[in-house]
């Protein structure tokens, strides 16, 4: 019997014909990486391959690694497999990975979202026989409003706080979400301060030519009174931590797809929740899957059992793949911060 194009081992998604892994979670010799989030780009591999736009962040996070790059759409041969990267629209540089062996095409989505965010290379559907898809938000309740509407809400919240001289502290994932907010917020409202972890990623992305408005890094000697009405981009874990005290009685908010769930919104130490995700919503997942033309769908990363059943009902050969990807894990399962004591 012929080997499948991709299979799952205890180290990750493996291609026997090319002897490589995609986003492996244990150290391997050759790792193809979809994007720089920590559940996909892990340390310890002998060789890495990513898009040139994803490589700087991966290097920033993992240090001195051996990484080669391959442009979107370019094909390379690894063993008996032909490999290419295609925009996933998730964060800058993020890719779906297409693997072709003897005329059979499999695509691994990595994390993706189907609507443009004004910063990441927009998602491109890729035809495939089999599609390995994430389904972080694979329930009908997750249906995103257009980005411009959410950003209008963010701007209105910031503007109202600024008018009263209050800081607006917005928690967001340091790679991707924070820069997406930066790229789309109305920077004329006031100064923008950033947590060090956010600013470090800003620096990497600016160095590769991405346009972000000016930001000021929050250092221990920064006096928040010098920046009345500022927007403060914080990491999720800084929100509600002692780091916040310097901003006085600030208004707090959190931007995540999980904010669509009232229970999670309530547990967050934030006054406001903005529903903004870098993952596809329910309609996005379904549209992306249809556009691949694939009959076999392997689901991972989220509401896998519900989503698999739904796809099977739609006539797909749908299976669950057990992976160690974590979705917007930092949003979902990170220990909840202590409530702010103003």
Among the listed residues 100, 111, 117, 121, the single contact to Zn ion using CB under 5 A:
111
Residue nearer to Zn ion on the CB measure, 23 or 199: 23
Q: How many residues bind Zn ion (CB under 5 A)?
A: 4
Name the token pair of 295: 């009959």
Q: How far apart are CA 103 and CA 183, in angstroms?
A: 41
Identify whether the C-beta of residue 126 lies closer than 8 Å to the C-beta of residue 72: no
Closest-CA residue to 130 (of 308, 8, 292, 311): 292
**Smallest gap, in angstroms, from Cβ of residue 24 to Zn ion?**
13
Residues 38-97 close enough to bind Zn ion by CB under 5 A = 39
Nearest approach, Cβ of 20 to Zn ion (angstroms)?
19
Query: In this structure, how many other beta carbons lie within 10 angstroms of the beta carbon of residue 18?
Result: 22
* Shortest distance (Å) from residue 230 CB to Zn ion: 28
CA separation for the pair 200, 179 (Å, rounded) = 11
Nearest CB to Zn ion, comparing residues 187 and 210: 210
Stretch that binds Zn ion, among 67-75, 184-192, 208-216, 322-330 (CB under 5 A): 322-330
Is 325 a binding residue for Zn ion by CB under 5 A? The answer is: yes
Complex with Zn ion: residue 306 or 329, whichever CB lies closer: 329
Helices (H), the chain: 55-62, 147-163, 177-184, 196-207, 262-267, 282-292, 304-313, 329-332
Work out how close the CB of 326 gets to Zn ion at its nearest, in angstroms, rounded to a whole number: 6
Shortest distance (Å) from residue 132 CB to Zn ion: 12
Kindly tell me which of 106 and 325 has the beta carbon lying closer to Zn ion: 325
In the complex with Zn ion, which residue's Cβ is closer, 111 or 121?
A: 111
Rounded distance between C-alpha atoms, residue 9 and residue 24, angstroms:
9
Give CA–CA dist 298/281, Å, rounded: 17
Closer Cβ to Zn ion, 89 or 125, answer by number: 89
- Distance of closest approach, residue 93 Cβ to Zn ion, in angstroms: 11
Work out the burial of residue 213: count CB atoms within 10 Å of its CB; fewer than 13 is exposed, 13-18 middle, 19 or more buried: middle
**Strand 81-87 to 95-101 pairing:** antiparallel
Q: Does 100 bind Zn ion (CB under 5 A)?
A: no
* Minimum separation from the CB atom of position 123 to Zn ion (A): 13
Please tell me whether residue 268 binds Zn ion under the rule CB under 5 A: no
Which residues inside 4-43 make contact with Zn ion, applying CB under 5 A? 37, 39
Edge-first strand order for the sheet with 192-194 is 216-217, 192-194, 231-234, 168-171, 251-255, 272-274
* Site stretch for Zn ion (CB under 5 A), options 8-16, 21-29, 109-117, 280-288: 109-117
Classify the C-alpha dihedral 18-24-26-28 as positive or negative.
positive
Shortest distance in whole angstroms from residue 235 CB to Zn ion: 15
Instruction: Output 229 or 327, the one with its CB closest to Zn ion.
Output: 327
Residue 3 beta carbon to Zn ion: minimum distance, rounded to whole angstroms: 26
Q: Please give the biggest Cα pair distance in the chain.
A: 70
112 lies in the site for Zn ion, by CB under 5 A? no
Residues 6+ apart with CB under 8 A from 307: 135, 138, 139, 285, 299, 318
**Residues in touch with Zn ion (CB under 5 A):** 37, 39, 111, 325
């Amino acid at each position: 019997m012929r080997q499948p194009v991709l299979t799952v081992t205890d180290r990750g998604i493996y291609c026997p014909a090319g002897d490589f892994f995609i986003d492996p979670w244990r150290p391997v010799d050759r790792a193809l990486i979809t994007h720089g989030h920590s559940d996909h780009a892990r340390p310890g591999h002998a060789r890495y391959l990513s898009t040139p736009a994803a490589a700087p962040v991966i290097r920033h996070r993992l240090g001195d690694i051996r990484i080669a790059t391959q442009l979107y759409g370019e094909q390379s041969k690894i063993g008996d497999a032909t490999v290419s990267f295609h925009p996933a629209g998730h964060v800058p540089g993020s890719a779906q990975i297409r693997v072709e062996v003897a005329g059979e095409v499999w695509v691994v989505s990595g994390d993706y979202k189907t609507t443009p965010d004004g910063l990441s290379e927009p998602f491109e559907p890729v035809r495939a026989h089999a599609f390995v898809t994430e389904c972080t938000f694979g329930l009908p309740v997750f249906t995103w409003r257009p980005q411009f509407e959410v950003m209008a809400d963010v701007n209105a919240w910031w503007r109202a706080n600024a008018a009263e001289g209050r800081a607006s502290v917005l928690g967001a994932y340091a790679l991707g979400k924070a820069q997406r907010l930066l790229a789309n917020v109305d920077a004329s409202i006031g100064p923008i301060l950033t947590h060090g972890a956010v600013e470090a990623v800003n620096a990497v992305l600016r160095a590769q030519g991405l346009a972000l408005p000016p930001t000021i890094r929050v250092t221990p000697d920064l006096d928040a009174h010098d920046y009345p009405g500022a927007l403060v981009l914080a990491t999720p874990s800084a929100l509600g931590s002692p780091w916040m005290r310097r901003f006085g009685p600030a208004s707090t908010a959190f931007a995540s797809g999980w904010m669509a769930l009232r229970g999670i919104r309530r547990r967050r130490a934030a006054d406001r929740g903005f529903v903004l995700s870098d993952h596809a919503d329910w309609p996005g997942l379904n549209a992306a899957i249809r556009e691949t033309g694939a009959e076999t769908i392997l689901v991972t990363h989220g509401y896998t059992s519900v989503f698999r059943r739904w796809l099977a009902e739609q006539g797909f050969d749908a299976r669950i793949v057990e992976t160690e990807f974590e979705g917007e894990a930092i949003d979902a399962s990170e220990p909840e911060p202590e409530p702010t004591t103003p």
